[in-house]
Structures are given as structure tokens and as C-alpha cells.
Structure 1
Amino acid sequence: MTDKKWLSHPVLSLLLAAVWLLLQQSMALPQLIAAAVLGLLLPRLLHGFLGPALRLRKPGLALRLVVVVLWDIVMSNLVVARLVLSPGGRPQPAWVRVPLALRQPGAISLMASIITMTPGTVSCVVDEVRHEILVHALDCSDAPAMAAEIKSRYERPLLEIFG
């Protein structure tokens, strides 16, 4: 019964309602009603595809992870721009295997998304049998070091946040 309750994904419901209001640029009553309906109805209709909701155990650490990810996105944009625009830039593309300690599908998907959002890296395969993510890096001279950095910057906080 818990998977089929109306607020099985409360964070998603709030996010959908907030995005609707931002897109409408209005807090008028009809928009508030539409936001509430979307926030309640869409997760309810999609509950079979969404799987169990992730429960934040450490919201403060989650906020810190958001700051780290945003910082990494900005810095990676600068590094990739310099690499691509520099006449002498010679990227060293590499495949990096990142072993996973995470086991929750939602947390693994979040980690893969974080990797892909960071310019210069793309999560290509989540191997559930081997418990690893295969990442393509635009420029990587040391694959084990990059895997260790991904684990320390993203996976370790996600393990603490979601348990």
C-alpha cells in the first residue's frame, strides 16, 4: 500500500509543483491549483516506473553535495572550454570504471546523472551485475585517480545521504 499512496514521492511532488509555478511565473489561484494537481497526480500515475522514493537521511549533507556539484560543473566548463579552444589542446579520452558501493537504484541513477551533468564526463553504462559505472572522460591521464575522485566527491556523500 505504501507504494500506491498519493504522496509516495513527496520531494518529486514538491519539485513538480514548484517547476510548474516557475514556468507559469504566477502564484495566482488557478496556477496554484494546477501545480497541486500536477504534483499529486503525476507521481501517482508514474509510481510503477519511479520505484521506491529515496529518503534523505542527512539534508544538510545533501545541500553541501549540491554546492559541490554546481562548483564542479562550473570548473569543468572552464577546463573543457580551455581544452577545446586551445590550439595546442590535446585531450586524452579514456574509459573509466567506477566501482559502486551504492545499491539503491535511485541513488545510482542520481550519481550517473551527476557524472553526466559535469562537462567532460558521460556515464555510459550502469552495470548492475558488476556494480560499476562506465564513464567516458574527455581528458583523463589517470583513470584510477579519476574513479577515486568520483567516489569521494559524489558516491561517499550519496551513501551518507541515502544510507
Structure 2
Amino acid sequence: MSRLLPYPLLATSLLVMWILLNGLSAGHLVLGAIIGIAASWAMTALEPAKPRLRRWGLIPGLFVTVMADVLRSNIAVASIVLRGRRGQRTSGFVTIPLELRDPTGLAVLACIITSTPGTAWVEYRSGTGVLLLHVLDLADEQEWIDIIKGRYERPLMEIFE
């Protein structure tokens, strides 16, 4: 079974997503299954490292924190755009020294930062562990460093390292 379907969760989730996007029919079921199996085989060629989760119990809390921050950031960015406060805000770059080195943890951190409106992951230097972050409304650079390190990096380190 593992040779036919090396990543069954990936294949199944792609099939379900295909059906949800295109509707349930015999043709879409077959096409979605083909896409899921092909993606599963393609994933074996990439040979991804299996992430090792050390503290599963922290994941729900991190998820709630991220969702609350995404909601809060959506409201803040909408306020900037709708009120036309463009002249009153200052965008800029923040350099954040990270202690997190796990590739999966860094990927999750990149997804968190990029999915939060008003922030963008610009660059990560693996040799020095320095993250360059762009912030739409940069009032206090140290506040952003504390947010990233305290709210996201610390829990991710406990989960992955």
C-alpha cells in the first residue's frame, strides 16, 4: 500500500479538495484520484524530512493565537485602507534574530507571518538565523521582535525542537 500511495493523507486531502471545488461526479472523482496519486508519487521524489513533533498539546493554543492575530491584523489593515491613514503610517523592515532552526518550524513560522495581513516574510539567512520582516504599520520595532519571538517562535521551538 505504501508503494502505491506513499502519502495517503496528501492524496486523500487533494481528492477531497478537488471534489469540493468541482462538485461530485464520476469524472471528477477519477480525475481527483489521479491528481492525488500523482502528487503523492511526486512527493516521494522530493524526499521530505518527516517532522518530529515533540509537544502536540501546544498546537491548539498556537492555532488560537494565530487566528486571533490574523483577525486583529485584518481589522487593522482594513482600517488603514478604508480610513485612508496612509500618511499617518510608516511601513518598514524589521530584522529579527531567530533561535528556531528546525526547517518545519521555520516553514510554519513563514506561513504564520505571511498569512497575517500587514506583514511579509522577506528573507531568512540560515547561516546567521536572521529574519527580515516587512511590516505595513511599523510603530515600534522592538514590539514586533517581541511578538514574533514570544508569540510564535517560542511555541514553535517547543513543538519542533
TM range (shorter): 0.7 to 0.9
Give me the whole-angstrom Cα distance separating, in 2, the residues matched to 1:108 and 1:12. 21
Q: Structure 1 pair 32/87, CA: closer, same or farther in 2 (3 Å)?
A: closer
Q: Structure 1 pair 61/19, CA: closer, same or farther in 2 (3 Å)?
A: farther
Contact 1:9/1:53, CA 8 A, preserved across alignment: no
1:101 lines up with 2:99 in the alignment: yes
Contact 2:104/2:160, CA 8 A, preserved across alignment: no
Structure 2 equivalent of residue 43 of structure 1: 40
- Give the CA deviation at 1:105: 1.7
Q: Which of residues 49, 54, 65 in structure 2 aligns to 1:52? A: 49
* TM-score normalised over the length of structure 1: 0.78
Of residues 112-121 and 153-162 in structure 1, the stretch that sits farther from structure 2 once superposed is 153-162
The 5 Å alignment of 1:102-141 reads: 102-141=100-139
Q: Secondary structure of 1:130's match?
A: coil
Code of the residue aligned with 2:82 in structure 1: it is L
Structure 1 equivalent of residue 78 of structure 2: 81
Q: Structure 1 pair 22/125, CA: closer, same or farther in 2 (3 Å)?
A: same
- Which consecutive unaligned segments of at least 5 residues does structure 1 have? none
Structure 1 equivalent of residue 144 of structure 2: 146
- Which consecutive unaligned segments of at least 5 residues does structure 2 have? none
Code of the residue aligned with 1:126 in structure 2: it is Y
Q: Structure 1 pair 88/40, CA: closer, same or farther in 2 (3 Å)?
A: closer
Contact 1:122/1:136, CA 8 A, preserved across alignment: yes
Q: Percent identity?
A: 35
Select the structure of larger CA radius of gyration. Answer: 2
Code of the residue aligned with 1:143 in structure 2: it is E
* TM-score normalised over the length of structure 2: 0.79
Q: Structure 1 pair 138/44, CA: closer, same or farther in 2 (3 Å)?
A: same
Offset from partner CA, 1:14-71 (integer Å, 9 cap, x none):
5434423433444x78766765654454133133436212233333322222222222
Contact 2:93/2:133, CA 8 A, preserved across alignment: yes
Q: How many residues align?
A: 159
Structure 2 equivalent of residue 92 of structure 1: 90
Please, what is the CA RMSD of the aligned residues?
2.8
